[in-house]
Structure 1
Amino acid sequence: MRHPAASRGRGPAFAPSARGRCRRARGRGQDRRRTRPCFRVSRVSRLASRPSGTVQRPVPHAAFTPKWLVARAARRLGLPYLVRESPGCRQGGPTVPRTFTGRIALAAAAVATALVVTLTACGSEDESPAAKGKTPGGAGSGGTHTVKTAMGDVQVQNVPQRVVVLDTDSLDSAVTLGITPVGATTVADKAPFSAYLPADKLKGTKPVGAIAEPNLEAINALKPDLILSSKVRDEKSYKSLSAIAPTVFSESTGGPWRANFALHADALGKKTEAKQVVADYTAHVERVTEALGGPAKAAQTKVGFVRFVEGADTRLYLNDTFVGSLFKDLQVGRPANQDKDGFSVDVSPEQIDQADADVLFYSTYGDPKKAKETDITGGPLWKNIDAVKNDKAFKVDDNLWMLGIGYSGAGRILDTIEKNVASKP
């Protein structure tokens, strides 16, 4: 390192060593409390190769750290490095105080910690695993490919090996495509994962917090190479999640479940398998439609869905829902007040007659009594509904119909419809 003072004729061609300056300081009796190292700060930069060239990544540094110590710390950690003088260093000034050796010991620990934390986890936004397709601890196979997500383009391993899913639709997608996630959020205490999915397909899957509040520490501990969720569910955690592994978000969940499945299949490197899943589902729909008497008869049958919710009003589900999309696939008719765009309509116990339909499916979230199911289904308005009078009102599994969002869940629901409707004249 050439000493700037040399260009002004006031110093040696190269900066003297710290030890040499200390000795001269003691010899000249300078005030040690006011002395400073000639180079005040050293900085370490990571050299990360990209197709477009070499990018330098700054790493937080420790003040009063000599360059040789920073370089040695980087070498001992097995990290590529580049040592640079910090701008604004006061060259040609007072010499190094005697306490400098003590600072070296403290700075070494600080630099080593900063290097490990920064290079393996934090980093800058443009160098995050999500942006580059790199995985801190994962074992992705092969190269990477670009996935277009609700949060922008993300580089993902071609064949991810350690997948964490944070929503029920992404869990369904993974299992449907033959992948056992290493981690998944839970939906209930007694049955942590969706009960309709085969237990053997989730053997070894670790809980990573509740679906409403994923545990970032638990996720990071699993060293995933891909994280799947939705913007509507986990947007607030995206930055933290993408610092752990490439993170793929759909825009929302429920209604657009087919598009979400295609997104998940792309991220998982399972696009070919996904085509077969879609083909099998299409054949299943055609089978059930024929069992209902064919498209013409199915269209004349008004099918509705009611959900009793603890702590809220009863809901009639509309077309822009997972259940609504299945009814549309089967080409069944819908009650006029439910054949609308949107999610749901709330009704009070006194308005339950608005649930009138030829065939009615209903489920309950929470305690049936607290959700008013017990009172409503025992009242005269409910008993006057056509589906109830004709013994075509069926209580179904709320977990499946509300959270089984995906092709595996859809297949189970189609089976339920065929069993209960097609078998009755």
Structure 2
Amino acid sequence: MKHNWIKGIIIALLCMAITACGTASKGSKDTDSDKTVKQRVVKTVMGDISIPTDPKRVIGLSVVYPEFIYALGIVPIAEQNYHTDFPSYLAEPFKNTIKMGIAKTPNFEAILAATPDLIIAPEWWSKKDYDQLSAIAPTVLLPQHDDWRDELRDIGEVFGKKDQAEKVITDLQTKVTESKKTLDDLVGDETVMYMRVMAKEVIIHGIKSDRGNLIHVQLGLQPVPKIAETENTLSISLEVIPEYNPDHLIVQLDDESDEVKNRFEEMMNSSLWKNLTAVKEKHIYMMGGKEWFNLGMSPLANSFAIDAVLEAFKNNKKG
């Protein structure tokens, strides 16, 4: 009971701080200093709101929004993180970015302490918290899209960087097209399976998942016949992997936990695994977990993955 009482006081104090910040922010509109900050009106799912024309301290809620923001040339001051460390392609630019963890509810205390001048968040995740967020800083909620390109375009619209957003999309497509030709020369019609080892299960990504689409459709790596008909993903056991028996196997360990590592080690020690064609031919390509976490959902993650796949298959060919 004592802990609940203390927790209640902490929550109350946090709410008071957020409210005070919001009140001060609203009241400061009449001050001379605030009048020097240029504003522009943007359309959001919550209606038109006024935001700084050139925001300096931006927070993107969701694990993928910070990547969109950085793709447009802006380093977020704080972001939600699933893994302890940022993926390697963000490690240097995000070295001063605050990690806020990830939960069902935003870390309001961390957001408040970061003193943002703009918050961008997806409607599906943050609408329930809009009042608290907008009390801290102007908050733009954006609609959910099936295609990351449309999400990037929306964020480009917010920052007045529509042309830059289109360039990111075009540049990545050029890279995809060129990489597909290279991989076709390297692999041809040999089959490739993309397997993701997680703590509770092992998943094969089909061509209709975001991840599988990049590997098999955009990059043109031939899936095994049964996977070609998979709607999205397929949870499998070690015993059935020989039924697919791919020529090449891309393996992603979902994280660096002992549970995931032990699961994969058990697989590798199995005679079923050792008799796979890809294993016998040494066509196993290990990919980073956190680097591939946003695969299929971010131009930065996709670009990094394409480079990793190209390097893996090129090195294998040399060997």
Taking structure 2 as the reference length, what is the TM-score of the superposition?
0.77
Kindly provide the amino acid, as one letter, of the partner of residue 172 in structure 1: E
Q: CA deviation at 1:202?
A: 1.6
Report the equivalent of 2:228.
339
Q: CA deviation at 1:182?
A: 1.4
Kindly provide the amino acid, as one letter, of the partner of residue 121 in structure 1: G
Residues 175-216 of structure 1: CA deviation (Å, up to 9, x unaligned): 222211111123233x2x3333141x2243223343655311
Q: Which moved more, 1:171-180 or 1:234-243?
A: 234-243
Aligned residue runs from structure 1 range 13-52, under 5 A: none
Give the alignment partner of residue 282 of structure 1, picking from 146, 150, 173: 173
Q: Say if 2:301 is the partner of 1:413.
A: no
Report the equivalent of 2:99.
207
Unaligned 5+ segments in structure 2 are: 1-16
Alpha-carbon distance in 2 for matches of 1:228, 1:139: 23
Task: Give the SS at the match of 1:186.
Answer: coil
Q: Say if 2:139 is the partner of 1:244.
A: no
Question: Cα–Cα, structure 1 residues 202 and 140, in superposed 2: closer, same or farther, change >3 Å?
Answer: farther
Question: Cα–Cα, structure 1 residues 270 and 313, in superposed 2: closer, same or farther, change >3 Å?
Answer: same
Q: CA deviation at 1:396?
A: 0.8
Residues 135-164 of structure 1: CA deviation (Å, up to 9, x unaligned): xx999963324345xx45453444332211
Kindly provide the amino acid, as one letter, of the partner of residue 22 in structure 2: A
Q: Is the 8 A contact 1:265 1:271 kept in 2?
A: yes
Alpha-carbon distance in 2 for matches of 1:244, 1:387: 53
Q: CA deviation at 1:398?
A: 0.9
Kindly provide the amino acid, as one letter, of the partner of residue 319 in structure 1: I
Aligned residue runs from structure 1 range 113-132, under 5 A: 121=22
Report the equivalent of 1:264.
155
Alpha-carbon distance in 2 for matches of 1:338, 1:212: 33
Kindly provide the amino acid, as one letter, of the partner of residue 194 in structure 1: P
Alpha-carbon distance in 1 for matches of 2:112, 2:88: 26
Alpha-carbon distance in 2 for matches of 1:406, 1:308: 21
Give the alignment partner of residue 323 of structure 1, picking from 193, 211, 233: 211
Aligned residue runs from structure 1 range 342-357, under 5 A: 342-354=231-243, 356-357=245-246
Seq. identity, %: 22
Q: Say if 2:164 is the partner of 1:273.
A: yes
Question: Cα–Cα, structure 1 residues 211 and 410, in superposed 2: closer, same or farther, change >3 Å?
Answer: farther
Report the equivalent of 1:10.
none
Q: CA deviation at 1:288?
A: 1.2
Taking structure 1 as the reference length, what is the TM-score of the superposition?
0.59
Alpha-carbon distance in 2 for matches of 1:330, 1:161: 37
Q: CA deviation at 1:169?
A: 1.6
Give the alignment partner of residue 160 of structure 1, picking from 38, 55, 60: 55
Question: Cα–Cα, structure 1 residues 230 and 304, in superposed 2: closer, same or farther, change >3 Å?
Answer: farther
Kindly provide the amino acid, as one letter, of the partner of residue 220 in structure 2: Q
Report the equivalent of 1:386.
277
Larger Rg: 1
Question: Cα–Cα, structure 1 residues 375 and 163, in superposed 2: closer, same or farther, change >3 Å?
Answer: same
Alpha-carbon distance in 1 for matches of 2:22, 2:160: 25
Query: Bigger relative contact order, structure 1 or 2, given CA contacts below 8 A and separation 6+?
Result: 2
Q: Say if 2:202 is the partner of 1:314.
A: yes
**RMSD of aligned C-alpha atoms?**
3.5
Give the alignment partner of residue 171 of structure 1, picking from 50, 66, 90: 66
Alpha-carbon distance in 2 for matches of 1:319, 1:152: 35
